[in-house]
Amino acid sequence: GAGVSQSPSNKVTEKGKDVELRCDPISGHTALYWYRQSLGQGLEFLIYFQGNSAPDKSGLPSDRFSAERTGGSVSTLTIQRTQQEDSAVYLCASSPDYDNTQYFGPGTRLTVL
Amino acid sequence: DQQVKQNSPSLSVQEGRISILNCDYTNSMFDYFLWYKKYPAEGPTFLISISSIKDKNEDGRFTVFLNKSAKHLSLHIVPSQPGDSAVYFCAATTDSWGKFQFGAGTQVVVTP
C-alpha cells in the first residue's frame, strides 16, 4: 500500500518568505509527527497530532512555526518569515493507534538562502 | 536536553562480522525503544523495537538488548552485510504513542 508522502521533495526559498510543507500519512493512521534533521544532527521532534488535535507542540522552535491537520489526514507545516537556520530536512511520520511504530515519509529538503 | 544519546557517530565493520550500536538514555520513564535505519535521501525505516518489560528482542540478524538499570540499549547486527551501511537512530518514548526522543544517529559502514 501507499506509504507516507511529502511534498515538495525540495524547496528553495529566500530568507523572509513563508513556506508550506505537506504530509499525507498512511490512510487510517491516527497519529502524525513532524521532525526535522539539520545537517549533521539527529532527528528533532517538532509536533505530534492525534487525530486533528496537537497534544504536544513543545518541539516547535519558535512562533514562526505552526502546523495543522485536517480531517484526521493531511497535515501542513508552515514556517513564516523563514531564516537560514530553518534549512533542514523536514520529516513526517504516521502511526496507527495500535502500534508504536512510526512510518516515515521521504522528507522535504528546505534550503533558505 | 538530550535524553537519548548515541555517543558513537560512526562505526566501521567488516562484512560478516558483528556490528554493535549503543544507545544511552537519561529518562527512567521511557518504556518503549526503537531502532530506525536511514539511507541517504530517504526517510528512516523501522528496524526493531523493545518494550521495557523485556531485556532482549530478536528479529533475524538484528537483536536489541535493553539494560534498564544502566539505562542502556544496544543493537547487534550479525552477520553484517554491505546493505546494512546506513545511519541508525535509537528512539525512546514514555507513552504507548506520543513524543519520541531520537538519538543523533550512528553511521555504519560495512566493508567487504
Q: What is the pLDDT of residue A108?
A: 94
List A106's β-bridge partners, or say none.
none
Looking at the predicted structure, is the pLDDT value of residue B27 above 80? Answer: yes
> Which chain A residues have a beta carbon less than 8 Å from that of B44?
43, 91, 104
Please state, as a whole number, how many other Cβ atoms lie within 10 Å of the Cβ of residue B64: 24
The residues near A106 (Cβ < 8 Å, ≥ 6 apart) are A5, A6, A9, B41, B42, B43
Q: What is the pLDDT of residue A58?
A: 79
Size of interface A-B (CB pairs under 8 A): 57
Q: What is the pLDDT of residues B76-88, one digit of tens each?
A: 999 999 999 999 9
For residue A91, the distance in angstroms to the closest alpha carbon of chain B comes to 7
Q: What is the pLDDT of residue B82?
A: 95
**Rounded to whole angstroms, how far apart are CA atoms A50 and A32?**
7
Q: Using a pLDDT cut of 70, give the percent of chain B over it.
A: 95
**Rounded to whole angstroms, how far apart are CA atoms B62 and B78?**
7
Identity at A52, one-letter amino acid code: N
For residue B40, count CB atoms less than 10 angstroms from its CB and return exposed for 0-12, middle for 13-18, buried for 19 or more.
exposed
Give the neighbor-by-neighbor strand order of the sheet with B72-77. Answer: B4-5, B19-25, B72-77, B62-67, B56-59
DSSP strand pairing (B72-77 vs A65-69): unpaired
Looking at the predicted structure, is the pLDDT value of residue B109 above 90? Answer: yes
Q: What is the pLDDT of residue B101?
A: 85
> Which chain B residues have a beta carbon less than 8 Å from that of A103?
46
Q: What is the pLDDT of residue B98?
A: 60
Q: What is the pLDDT of residues B31-71, one digit of tens each?
A: 889 999 988 878 888 899 999 999 999 999 999 999 999 99
**Rounded to whole angstroms, how far apart are CA atoms A28 and A99?**
12
Q: What is the pLDDT of residue A1?
A: 55
Length of chain B counted residue by residue: 112
pLDDT band at B96 (very low <50, low <70, confident <90, very high): low
Q: How far is CA A88 from CA A35, A36, A61, B19, in A?
A: 10, 6, 13, 29
For each of chain A's 113 residues, which pLDDT tens digit applies? 589 999 999 999 999 999 999 999 999 999 899 999 887 677 888 998 888 888 778 789 999 999 999 888 999 999 999 999 999 999 999 988 767 788 899 899 999 99
Residue A41: closest C-alpha in chain B: B104
Q: What is the pLDDT of residue A55?
A: 77
For residue A24, the distance in angstroms to the closest alpha carbon of chain B comes to 14
Report yes or no: A100 at the B interface, CB cutoff 8 Å. Answer: yes
Q: What is the pLDDT of residue A37?
A: 86
Q: What is the mean pLDDT of residues B17-30?
A: 95
Tell me the three cell numbers of residue B88: 541508525
Question: Residue A70 half-sphere exposure, CB side, CA atoms within 13 Å?
Answer: 3
Report yes or no: A5 at the B interface, CB cutoff 8 Å. Answer: no
Q: What is the pLDDT of residue B66?
A: 97
Identity at A75, one-letter amino acid code: S
Question: Residue A67 half-sphere exposure, CB side, CA atoms within 13 Å?
Answer: 31
> Whose grid coordinates read 530553518?
A86
